[in-house]
Structure 1
Amino acid sequence: MSRYFYYHVLYVGLINIMIFVPWTLFQNRFHGAVSAMAIAIVIGTIMAWTTTSLFLRFPEMALSDIVKAYFPRGIALIVNVIGAIIWGFAGILVVYAYSSTIQQFFNPDMNPYLFLLLMTAAGVWGATRCSRTIQFAHEVLMLLCTPLILMILFKAIFSPWLDWDAIRVSLGYVRTRPSLNSLSAALFVFAGYNTLVIFNRLIPANTKIRQRWIIPVFCSFFLFVSFFIPIGFHGTVGVADYLYVWSITSDSMIMQYGFVYRVLYVFLLLYTALSLMFTMNTWHTAMEFIKACHPRYTPQPDQYPVKAVNWWITISFAVLTFAYAAWANDQRNQLTYQSWLIVRSISEVVVLLILVWCFFVSRRKRRSSIRQQTAAQNS
């Protein structure tokens, strides 16, 4: 079962390359981005290790189930609503950003809502599936996409056009104090463990997630690659001139294999699958938080057939995506995404505090029940 956990860690680390995490770091490359990455590695590793360990103390329980068991209903309702907003908005941001990228690089004259419609339709269909089905879909997509994406990343690392002097110059700002925006963006790379807020329901009792040293190794690799490789290709100054910097970076490489020549097309095709995976996961998680608001809701990780409420909730996310696309532009989207990164980072700390509280309360109840059983046996 631990391999499914690492699939989530891996795809969140990969998806940060396509969304606005690198762009945020590039805007702060002279103002603490490098030091923010160093701090994020330490904080992200500690939070990932601690949060994962605490979730394993509550096997087959999502965050909504844990909060429902140890908090008053009013607090549980607030946690579920906030969780639904954060996770649902994550999918909206990624769908909008990626559909804009596709339009810019494939067909700028295309109706901007056409590809958005295709992406949201696929996201809605995937998010309505049960948690077990989504977990299996993750495995298939990761096995198909990860080797090719890693091949492209290593091709960029060993490219003769990579300027290591520019990378060394950017490393010289490691002592600069980081900003909150850059730290929040760097922490997102480690956010894969947060999928346990729902998918912990699929982890049976006495399960151990071993080799957790993989988390800082993989996430640090993706963080450094997403930041330093574009700097090596475009320079410390020129890298800030691009909004879709990794799309431009992939178009700076060529592949001499068969009919494939420009890396850009392969890169965007692979990240189409990853974007759909991210949307499917986030909207499914938000859907489960919304359903948990009902007092009689009973979790069904292997639910079949799909209930109508799943369709209505996820279709509402698609409608909100179109409303956001009608309101947003590049500048508004950047500001919104940076605000979401900060809120998401704060929510990680809140989730950790909730789990710590629930762990101590459950241990206290367990000790109290043991004392009562012992007293009853002695009497």
Structure 2
Amino acid sequence: MVRYFYYHVIYVGLINIMLFVPYTLIQNRFHGAVPAIVISIFLGTALAYVTISLYLKFPEMGLPEILNTYLPRTLALTLILLTTVLWFSGGMLVIYSYSRTIQQFFNPDMNPYLFSSLMIAAAIWGGTRCTRTVQFAQEIVLFACAPLILALIMKAIFSKWLSWDAIRITAGYVKTMPSFLSLAAAMFVFAGFNTLAVFNRLVPADTKIRFRWIIPVFCTLIMLISFFVPIGFHGTVGVGQYVYIWSITADSMIMEYGFIQRVLYVFLLLFTALTLMFAMNTWHSAAEFLKSCHPKHRPKTEQYPVPASNWWINASFGGLTLLYAFWADDSRNEWTSHIWLYARFSADLLAVVVFSLILLLKLRPKQQNKQTVPKSASSDS
């Protein structure tokens, strides 16, 4: 079970490229991005450790069951609905951003909604699967993509076109005051632990998630690479001119193996799989949150055949995403992504507070029982 948890950490860290995280940090590279990265390493590590420990106190329970059990119905329902919107919108933003990237770099004249519709259809199918199937699917996708992604990262780091002077100059802006947006963007890279909100249902009692040091090490490396490598390729000033910064960076590299020369093609192919995996996880989680609002709902980690409610809920997610594609453009999508990053970071902080209060409510009856036992014993004597 422990390895499945780290799969979530890995793919969430990698998908930050499609959620304007490197772009947001690079736009603030002279105005607090570097100290925001430093702060996020410590704060993200602390949030990950605390949140994991809190979830392990409630084995085989997802976030909806915990809230419904220990909080008043109205408050629990409100928090669950807000969480549903947050998770669904994450998948929506990734699908739209990736569809725009494909259109820009493959065929600018193509129908902008054609590829979006294909991605939405695949995300709907993936989101309807049961929790255990989603977990197995992400293992397959990561094993297929991780070696190639690692090869591209190493190729970028050791490229002769990478300017370490540009990286050193940008890293020198460590004393500037970070903005809340920069911190919220940097914190997303550490957000993989949040998938326990649903997948904690698969964690049996007495499970220990070991090797948690992997979280700060991996997430820090991914964040530094996604931020500094484009600066090294395009310069401290020129890097600010691009929106799809990592697609431009990938297109700056050439492969000399066989008939594929442009790294961009391999890069976009890999992120097709990662985008679908992220959308599958987020929409599946959002559907599970929404179903838990029904008082008679009982969560199941394995379901066959697929319930009709899964199809209806995910189809509504797909319809809303298509409406968003009609409304959005690059500037509106950037603005929406920033709002989502604010909300996601705030939700992480709120989750720790709510879980701590719930844990106190859970432990209070045990403490009261321990105090009453000596009194009863003394009265009998």
* TM > 0.5: yes
**Partners of 2:370 and 2:299 in 1: CA distance:** 29
In the other structure, the counterpart of 1:277 is 277
1:18 deviates by: 3.0
Give the aligned length.
379
In the other structure, the counterpart of 1:309 is 309
TM-score (normalised: structure 1):
0.98
Which residue identity lines up with residue 315 of structure 1 in the other structure?
A
Secondary structure at 1:17 match in 2: helix
Secondary structure at 1:261 match in 2: strand
**Partners of 1:116 and 1:376 in 2: CA distance:** 68
Deviations 1:150-180 (A, max 9, x none): 1101110010100000001101101100001
For 1:45-124, list aligned pairs within 5 A. 45-124=45-124
> Structure 1, unaligned stretches of length 5 or more?
none
**Partners of 2:6 and 2:356 in 1: CA distance:** 23
In the other structure, the counterpart of 1:219 is 219
For 1:116-265, list aligned pairs within 5 A. 116-265=116-265
Secondary structure at 2:323 match in 1: helix
1:8 deviates by: 0.3
In the other structure, the counterpart of 1:298 is 298
Deviations 1:34-65 (A, max 9, x none): 01000010100000000001100100011111
1:276 deviates by: 0.2
**Partners of 1:281 and 1:376 in 2: CA distance:** 52
Secondary structure at 1:52 match in 2: helix
In the other structure, the counterpart of 2:343 is 343
Q: CA RMSD in A?
A: 1.2
Which residue identity lines up with residue 325 of structure 2 in the other structure?
A
> Structure 2, unaligned stretches of length 5 or more?
none
Per the alignment, do residues 373 and 319 of structure 1 end up closer, same or farther by CA in structure 2, a change over 3 Å counting? farther
1:19 deviates by: 2.6
Which residue identity lines up with residue 333 of structure 2 in the other structure?
N
Which residue identity lines up with residue 58 of structure 1 in the other structure?
F
In the other structure, the counterpart of 2:352 is 352
Q: Does residue 28 in structure 1 map to residue 31 in structure 2?
A: no
Which residue identity lines up with residue 358 of structure 1 in the other structure?
I
**Partners of 1:209 and 1:98 in 2: CA distance:** 33
Secondary structure at 1:18 match in 2: helix
Which residue identity lines up with residue 177 of structure 1 in the other structure?
M
TM-score (normalised: structure 2):
0.97
Which residue identity lines up with residue 15 of structure 1 in the other structure?
I
In the other structure, the counterpart of 1:362 is 362
1:316 deviates by: 0.5
Of the structure 1 ranges 361-370 and 316-325, higher mean CA displacement relative to structure 2 is found in 361-370
1:183 deviates by: 0.6
**Partners of 2:193 and 2:358 in 1: CA distance:** 18
Which residue identity lines up with residue 165 of structure 2 in the other structure?
D
Secondary structure at 2:255 match in 1: strand
Secondary structure at 2:176 match in 1: coil
Secondary structure at 2:17 match in 1: coil
Deviations 1:124-170 (A, max 9, x none): 00000010000000111111111110110111001010000000110
In the other structure, the counterpart of 2:17 is 17
Which residue identity lines up with residue 367 of structure 1 in the other structure?
Q
Q: Please say if residues 19 and 337 of structure 2, whose CA atoms lie closer than 8 Å, have aligned partners that are also in contact.
A: no
For 1:324-343, list aligned pairs within 5 A. 324-343=324-343
Question: Taking every aligned residue pair, what percent have the same amino acid on both sides?
Answer: 58
1:259 deviates by: 1.7
Which residue identity lines up with residue 235 of structure 1 in the other structure?
G
1:255 deviates by: 1.2
Which residue identity lines up with residue 308 of structure 2 in the other structure?
A
Deviations 1:324-378 (A, max 9, x none): 1111111111011001100110001111111111111111122334555677788
Per the alignment, do residues 231 and 372 of structure 1 end up closer, same or farther by CA in structure 2, a change over 3 Å counting? same
Which residue identity lines up with residue 270 of structure 1 in the other structure?
L
Of the structure 1 ranges 290-299 and 357-366, higher mean CA displacement relative to structure 2 is found in 357-366
Which residue identity lines up with residue 109 of structure 2 in the other structure?
D
Secondary structure at 2:18 match in 1: coil
Secondary structure at 2:256 match in 1: strand
**Partners of 1:304 and 1:13 in 2: CA distance:** 31
**Partners of 1:257 and 1:365 in 2: CA distance:** 65
**Partners of 1:96 and 1:237 in 2: CA distance:** 28
